[in-house]
Structure 1
Amino acid sequence: MKLLVLGGTHHVGRAIVEAALERGDEVSTLNRGISRQPAPGVRALIADRTNPECVRRALRDEEWDAVIDTGAWAPRVVRESARLLADRTGHYGYVSSRGVHRWPWPAGADEHAPLAHGDPGSTDDADYAVAKRGGELAVLECFGARALLARAGMILGPYEDVGRIPWWLRRLEKGGRILAPAPAETPLQYLDVRDLAAWMLQCAERSLGGAFTVTGPPGAITLGELLTTALEVTGIDAELVWADPNLLVRHGLPLGVELGLRLPDGSVPSGMHDADVSAALAEGLTTRPLRATLADTWTWLQTEGDPVPRADTPSPDTWLDAAAEQRLLDQLPY
């Protein structure tokens, strides 16, 4: 395909660009050009998406088979880009989020769960759920059935700049006794960023539209499997000390919040790790083994170092205060 990626340098965008190049697609990216250099073989178009005229000049009158939008922008920014491309692009893939669903999420929810209110003309991106839903509406307004809304769950794998698995890997790297939020049998639902990228490109090639919940199968792994596998692939010598979440909260240690296992007040949210993904699986979504995701993330961290944290995510220090952790560990039996 002749593909345009809006973004293309970080996390999901980087994975999409790499997957597209591996497929042999002709890839252009559009971004501000102020972070990573484009991958070899990519044609970089430079523009600030908040400036429609700047975007218009960068795109000129060129046509593409498909566009994939990875940006977390205000809905009006999404709408303006979609309008510019509506008559010269066959397919628009929008990297959305399960966050578009109205809170609290029902258990076992699929694409038909209630949605947050969104305004495609809004310039406000402060409320993530509302902004993402507004972005979806903006894309639908311009592309209709030619739009794919990929409502992603927790995205892990190389290039993650949210502070989930990279934080845990760096914490494990320190070794010794390490607090973990019990129970180890807690189920987790996630998707490797490269599996999301491959699926979105396949959908673009097939001109598949519609809204899909896109994450891994529910019940596939547990928190215990995640952390013990991380220790195995890294070869780190550390002991996981499983602590009751209520005990962690009392000591000011909100472990588990980073993986969506509980809210900052310690309560357990519904619907976070049991989404119905049968629709995406029926349309060809595949998932790689946990071990591959963790091993490749560790290799990436060792090769490139820690990513620059995103401005819209909490500081990694939020998850654990080292002194508070040690005080609690001193109270727990060996």
Structure 2
Amino acid sequence: MRVLVLGGTTFIGRRVVERLHERGDQVLVVHRGHHDPASWVPVAHLHTDRGELSGHRDRIRDFGPTAVVDTYALTRGDVTAVLGVLPEVPTVVLSSQDVYQAYAGMRAGRCESPVPIDEQSELRRDRYPCRGAGLAGVPDDYEKLDVEQAWSHRGAVVLRLPMVYGPHDPQRREDPVLRRIRAGRDRMPVGAGNLLWARCHVEDIATGALTALDVREADGLAVNLGEASTVPIIDWFHQIVHAAGVSLDLVRVPEQALPDELVLTGAPAQHLLTSVHRAQTVLGWAPADPEERVAESVRWHLAHPPRSVWTDEDKRTDESALRTA
């Protein structure tokens, strides 16, 4: 298979490209050249902004893609910029479970949707969830609903992704726990910690993407990916501590005392728990054991710590919260 990958040099896209190469596919990675991994797999690169892809028609025709994976479409414009250049071949698009109304409810502190959420659950009523937030690298017109709609007439498989963790995760999902471990802390403030938010390791997401390329029965479908069973966030934190092989006491404190990075450990009005039945039955996809995947991720992140350090202000904030326990 000759696969053209849009994006594909960071985190999820990076692992998808590596897996495609490992199984023997020919790959052309289209990206701006800002995040070329060092000592990476020997795949072809086309350095260009996707908005300027039309200027590279000859290169794409010469490559002759038989499949496309879009790993980094954030807006409708990101999709419309490439549709006229790419051939109509099997396509997989990475979307997000933030398209569901349950996501809006979770952010607003209201119960908006029953769980588990499947692909027929209500989609988000309001558009542009990041508008005005000033998030680095996220445009105000970020909208995965627009991305899905723009790709729909091509019969693309839309993979709706949960909270994804693992090696090279730029958000370092485990870091609220790991940064305290690296600082030698023995107590950590937490809330009720009963949030159920579907998660999945990047390796299993990559497996889902490759499988979706191969299974034509999935064409035109939206498919949720995620763990087959999801534990509350407090149990996920305990898994992280256990995988790190340390002693860290998770201390329950009042929700209003929680540091900002730990507000997700409060008591939510809305869960974001998704069903992966369609992925299991249509794709034949099954993720690995979550506890084993957490251990793999923790080992990688401990071996590759971020540059940020634990500060005196971090210590004061934690100690202030712990005094309210």
Contact 1:166–1:306, Cα closer than 8 Å, also in 2: no
Q: Report deviation, 1:47.
A: 0.9
Matching of residue 322 in structure 1 with residue 323 in structure 2? no
Give CA deviations for 1:1-55 in whole Å, capped at 9, x if unaligned.
Answer: 2222111111110111122222222222110112133722211111111224345
Q: CA deviation at 1:255?
A: 4.7
Match of 1:313 in 2: none
- What residue is the counterpart of 1:253 in the other structure? 259
The answer to whether the 8 Å contact 2:227/2:290 transfers is no
**2:32 aligns to what?**
32
Inter-partner Cα distance in structure 1 for 2:25 and 2:8:
14
Q: What is the CA–CA distance in structure 1 between the aligned matches of 2:196 and 2:261, rounded to whole Å?
A: 15
The match for 1:153 among 162, 165, 175 is 162
Q: Could you say which residue in structure 1 is the equivalent of 2:67?
A: 66
User: Gapped runs of 5+ residues in structure 1?
Assistant: 309-315
Q: Sort the Cα spacing of 1:29 and 1:289 in 2 relative to 1 into closer, same or farther, 3 A.
A: same
Distance, in Å, in 2 between the alignment partners of 1:86 and 1:302 is: 42
Q: How many Å apart are 1:211 and its aligned residue?
A: 0.6
Q: Deviations over 1:46-81 (max 9, x none)?
A: 111122434545524432221111114321121222
In the alignment, residue 120 of structure 2 is paired with which amino acid?
Answer: H
Q: CA RMSD in A?
A: 2.9
Check if 1:111 corresponds to 2:116: no
Report the alpha carbon displacement of residue 180 of structure 1 after superposing the two structures with TM: 4.1
Deviation of 1:149 (Å)? 0.5
Q: Which residue of 1 aligns with 2:172?
A: 163
Query: In the alignment, what sits opposite 1:136?
Result: 148
- Quote the offset at 1:253 in angstroms: 2.0
Partner of 2:87: 86
- The 1:169/1:176 distance shift into structure 2, 3 A limit, reads closer
Q: What is the letter of the counterpart of residue 45 of structure 1?
A: L
Q: Which TM-score applies when normalising by structure 1?
A: 0.79
Among residues 218, 222, 244, which one is paired with 1:211 in the alignment? 222
Runs of 4+ in 1 over 6 A off after TM superposition: none
Distance between the aligned counterparts of 1:158 and 1:34, measured in 2? 19
Amino acid at match of 1:67: V
Q: How many residues align?
A: 300
Contact conserved, 1:12 with 1:193, CA < 8 A, in 2? yes
The question of whether the paired residues in 2 share the 8 Å contact of 1:96 and 1:151 is answered with yes
Alpha-carbon contact 1:175-1:236 (below 8 Å) kept = no
Q: Per the alignment, in what secondary structure is the counterpart of residue 12 of structure 1?
A: helix
Could you tell me how far 1:321 is from its partner in structure 2? 4.3
Question: Secondary structure at the residue paired with 1:149?
Answer: strand
SS in 2 for 1:67: strand
1:303: how far off?
4.2
SS at match of 1:297: helix
**Secondary structure of 2:93's partner?**
strand
The one-letter amino acid paired with 1:150 is L
Distance 2:76 2:307 in 1: 27
Question: How far did residue 191 of structure 1 move?
Answer: 0.9
Measured in 1, the distance between the counterparts of 2:177 and 2:5 equals: 30
Distance in 1, matches of 2:58 and 2:50, equals: 11
* Post-superposition offset of 1:188: 4.4
* Matches of 1:91 and 1:148, distance apart in 2: 8
Measured at CA, do residues 167 and 81 of structure 1 come closer, stay the same or move farther in structure 2, by a change above 3 Å?
Answer: farther
What's the offset of the Cα at 1:106? 0.9
1:238 corresponds to which of 248, 259, 283: 248
Aligned residue type for 2:317: A
Which ranges of structure 2 fall in alignment gaps of 5 or more residues? 106-111, 129-137
Aligned residue type for 1:214: L
Q: CA-to-partner distance for each residue in 1:290-316, whole Å, 9 max, x for gaps?
A: 3332232233334444389xxxxxxx9
What does the per-residue CA deviation read over 1:219-276, in whole Å, with 9 as the maximum and x for residues that have no partner?
Answer: x323343222222222223222232xxx232x3523544x5x55xxxx624241x222
2:299 is matched with which residue? 299
SS for the counterpart of 2:214 is helix
Q: Which residue of 2 aligns with 1:229?
A: 239
CA contact (8 A) 1:79 1:135 kept: no
- Is the Cα–Cα contact under 8 Å of residues 78 and 135 in structure 1 kept in the other structure? yes
SS at 2:187's partner residue? Answer: strand
